[in-house]
Amino acid sequence: MEKDYIMSIDVGTQSVRAMVFTNDGENVATERILTEPHYSLQPGWAELPAPSVWENVCTVCNALCKSMGDDINRVAACSITANRDNIIPLDENGEYIRDWITWVDQRRAPEAVFEAKHKWGGTKKLAYLFERGVMEFILARSKFNWFKYHEPETWNSTAKYLTMGGLITYKLTGEFADSLGMQSGVIPFDTKKLEYYKLDLIYQAMGVRRDQLADNLYPPGEKMGEVTKKAALESGLPEGLPIISAGGDKQCEVLGSGAFSEDTAVISYGTLATISVTSKKYVADKKFSFYTFPSSIRNMYYEEFLIDRGYWLVTWFCNQYAAEADFPEFLQNINEKAAKIPPGSDGLFIFPFWAPHYVVYPEAKGCIMGFTDTHLPEHIYRAILESIAYSLKMGYGKIRKKTKKDIRELIIVGGGSQSDVAMQLTADIFNVPATRLKTKEVCGQGAAIPAGIYASFYEDEKDGVEHMLKVDKVFEPIPQNVKVYEDIYKNVYLKMYETNLEIFRKLEKYSKSETKDE
């Protein structure tokens, strides 16, 4: 049977998808399952049941294979992508020790910082003093250190720590392999050199050993293994199917968007809102106002500014105002009403940090200001969308200081890209054209491109994008709107944090926020 299809598995925060494409980007089949939300045993914690990720992958893959019948054997290769910065510890038999600690989790290990300050000596002490800010950021946020000080029984019995991409790869192939692009968060990975650090001091500081991480890391488009007989029985996928490295979900969105240079930015309007660019040269911010990860485009880097609670705010808004209406119907109606509200939401302004940005706005609180008796729910909705775009514009400014490149084009993906209101106001706030793609599955489609490269469907990533990417609509900035937004951005948004910092600090005394830094 001819091998003329490619496939991707996409594990997201809210759903898991399995998708099959032709080399021209036609979606042959898709299966999707909504996932259970994380649970919290304590404020700020966010965990998932250990078996859930693999079980969900098996559910969608079995459904996909059933719907395709014998045509599943036409799949030449399958790529893996997943949301990043999630950790699962396994014992020496490859069994789960405890549940996942997810990217949403805010727990810290202040004990690691205390030890560095008061107990380190010699070379370790010098390293700490030389890069104190960076070291304290890393030490406190290391999930490995949290295990060390809070669950020593887990820490002592862990043979392997896996990412979600690494876990799926292990379950499918039996190999402790992972993609370069899944190496994000606080782990001993040298992004510039695209390899794990060699210096043992770094592993000691983070509370992990090299042998506890993936045995091998693969660049996009390389085979990590093949589906084993056991995995074929559990997942339904054909035994021997090549499993290909792709990268993290956000990097795959950028690849699927066709953003190959610093002057094209991709905004992902999802639960986590991000703005990101691709660059040939490694650039980074030691203060971590933005992050640099391996790109899903070979020999490239990926810079990302993020807001933890991006379009999560839209869900929050729906929870307050949707009442008995279905969310999709409610959102359609509120978008139609918000389209009639002028730029600036008739003077209603929102500072969208329901959870603070721990580097740029570490003590921020969410604010809604400018209320009058004329403001309606649609004003609040529009102001939320405007506020997230302002924040991403500010975040891109942090990246631009390093890349020295202005944006000439925006590509918008994620759930928010389906809103014409969000698309237009984003074009206006950034004052550049904003493009919406035809597919809603940009991440899954982008992840399939490395599988296509492996299968020799495409010469390279650009060839893959030319075959698969299709534009739906381009939103041009409207000059009079640009003027309004620039005024609010410069004279309200950028002044908001410093102007209200003392008020934020006073309110913190009475806060019950679940995202407090310990």
> What's the Cα-to-Cα distance from 379 to each of 191, 310, 408, 488, 494, rounded to whole Å?
42, 18, 29, 16, 21
Q: Domains in the chain, start-ordered, CATH in brackets? A: 5-249 (3.30.420.40)
CB 224 within 8 A of CB 244: yes
Which amino acid makes up residue 70? Answer: D
pLDDT at 513 > cutoff 60: no
Q: What is the pLDDT of residue 517?
A: 43
Q: What span, in angstroms and rounded, lies between the C-alpha atoms of 445 and 450?
A: 10
Q: How confident is the model at residue 516 (pLDDT cuts 50, 70, 90)?
A: very low
What token pair was written down for 66?
Answer: 């059933």
Q: Are 177 and 139 in contact (CB under 8 A)?
A: no
Confidence band, pLDDT 50/70/90 cuts, at residue 514: very low
Instruction: Please state, in angstroms and rounded to a whole number, the distance separating the CA atoms of residues 260 and 424.
Output: 23
Say yes or no to pLDDT of 414 above 50: yes
Q: Report DSSP letters for 261-328, one per residue.
A: STTEEEEEESSSEEEEEEESS----TT-SSEEEE-SSTT-EEEEEEESSSTHHHHHHHHHH-TTS-HH
372: how many CB neighbours lie within 10 A of its CB?
A: 9
CA nearest to 202, candidates 186, 216, 218:
186
Rounded to whole angstroms, the Cα distance separating 224 from 271 reads 30
Rounded Cα gap, residues 279 and 295, in angstroms: 9
Pairwise CA distance, residues 447 & 20, whole Å? 11
- Assess contact for 87 and 141: CB atoms under 8 A: no
Instruction: Give the pLDDT confidence score for residue 122 in this predicted structure.
Output: 82
Confidence band for 286, pLDDT divided at 50, 70 and 90: confident
* 451: phi then psi, degrees, rounded to nearest 5: -65, -40
List all residues 6 or more positions away from 414 whose beta carbon is below 8 Å from its beta carbon.
253, 267, 268, 269, 270, 273, 311, 442
Q: Tens digits of per-residue pLDDT, 207-248?
A: 999 999 999 999 999 999 999 999 999 999 999 999 999 999
Rg over alpha carbons for the chain, rounded to the nearest Å, is: 23
Report d(CA 274, CA 295) in Å as an integer: 15
pLDDT band with cut points at 50, 70 and 90 for residue 143: very high
